[in-house]
Chains A and B, each alone.
Chain A
């Protein structure tokens, strides 16, 4: 072994800014991948075998939450733990918007990522969780740049566009990723005096706005979510600028989950190659039935702004 003057040690306590960096870094490792909603250890296993880069453990996938109605809460920790034990990839779980005790519980069971999610019934209609106070990383939904930057200010280490969960309808996911990408492009073209005004409009700090304007991207990884049901949907989101995708109901509400999941994973890797995506789209069986935007009474994306 190498002799060093002072043996390198793992630090006992990680400073908060380093922890946030480490949490942003984990999202970087998930890029180019597919995060799949799973409700049982068996589904988690299927997802891992199909090439999921992480799984989202939740008792009911969004399509079922939509069908069942009522208040939707954090999943049973026992169920989440059974999924943690079933796979070696990162496991995420959802808490209600503003419900910081549900987040504390998820951190206590060593979840890899907490999704403060509009898919569940919001617990607070004013405040989001102070995510910077946690050691565990958070991912949050956003429909536009302002929402994304406000969540980042609160400590989110990863963003996902909201889309409309549990519908199998891609229109809202397209709307949200297009809006965020367009708003970033506009920001990048602004002069300094215009950026001050933009910061005011977006209700975030000038420093964060300037950082996004200069980099031409969010300071954290941005995935797409909500309504992705086919390899073509996934490739569409990637071509529009997403760095990876969440697939919720689209997999386990379809005819052949294992095959569809594997096809979506490959479509995300080769999202610009239409010949590859064409081949992957063949013979996948029934896609989830889905509901059109006009047919739904509950817009989850409007929860938490």
Chain B
């Protein structure tokens, strides 16, 4: 198994470490030349969605990624990754990969002083501690979207077909169960 990790900006190393811990191979995608259509899955990390989105377009990675999505490539996005995967962003007219029938709110909890950790129940995994950094949440999800976790009645993890997204950062925790969940989606 070989997982591509979008490494344009943000916390991509942390995802590599999580995959290393699970014995899965991974590689970084920084430009079009790194894009391997034969990869088994792709991770879009946390970071600034405005930066990653802009670089996706300007480095000509958006269209190849959309094609990979259409062909059913499993993709896992965290925080900024969730925003980039969503069809609609409540407080912005930007949308990029249109892979999730969701409306996501950016910086939904406010500035850094509102960042937090909370325990949640993740469907198929159980209780876990989730880290939210200037995080988004899902305001509205279409019928094809399965809600996997909520905090304070806000949707913070979803799955739609081969696409998994969390508003929080499993890559910041030594707990690798969400990455394991993603790898199981691939097998």
Contact = CB atoms under 8 A, between A and B. Distances in A.
A182 B107 CA distance: 38
Nearest to A14: B116
Contacts of A236: none
Interface string A186-209: 000000000000000000000000
A167 interface: no
Interface residues of A, number: 48
Interface stretch (A27-35, A96-104, A246-254, A289-297): A27-35
Interface in A87-132: 88-90, 107, 110-113
A33 B10 contact: yes
B68 interface: no
B51 A29 contact: no
A48 B50 contact: yes
Interface stretch (B18-26, B35-43, B119-127, B176-184): B119-127
How many B residues touch the partner, as a band? 35 or more
Contacts of B14: 28
B153 interface: yes
Contacts, number: 150
B133 to A, nearest CB: 5
Contact of B10 (A31, A84, A90, A273): A31
A1 interface: yes
Contact of A8 (B7, B58, B91, B121): B121
Contacts of A22: 112, 115-117, 131, 133
B48 A29 contact: yes
Interface in B23-77: 30-31, 46-48, 50-51, 54-55, 58-59
B170 to A, nearest CB: 12
A112 B116 CA distance: 14
Contacts of A33: 9-10, 47-48, 51
Given A25-B172, A28-B172, A11 B117 contact: yes
8 closest pairs, A vs B, by CB? A4-B121, A8-B120, A112-B112, A8-B151, A32-B9, A53-B48, A22-B115, A28-B11
Interface of B: 7-14, 30-31, 46-48, 50-51, 54-55, 58-59, 79-80, 91-92, 106-107, 109-113, 115-121, 123, 131, 133-134, 147-153, 155, 169, 172
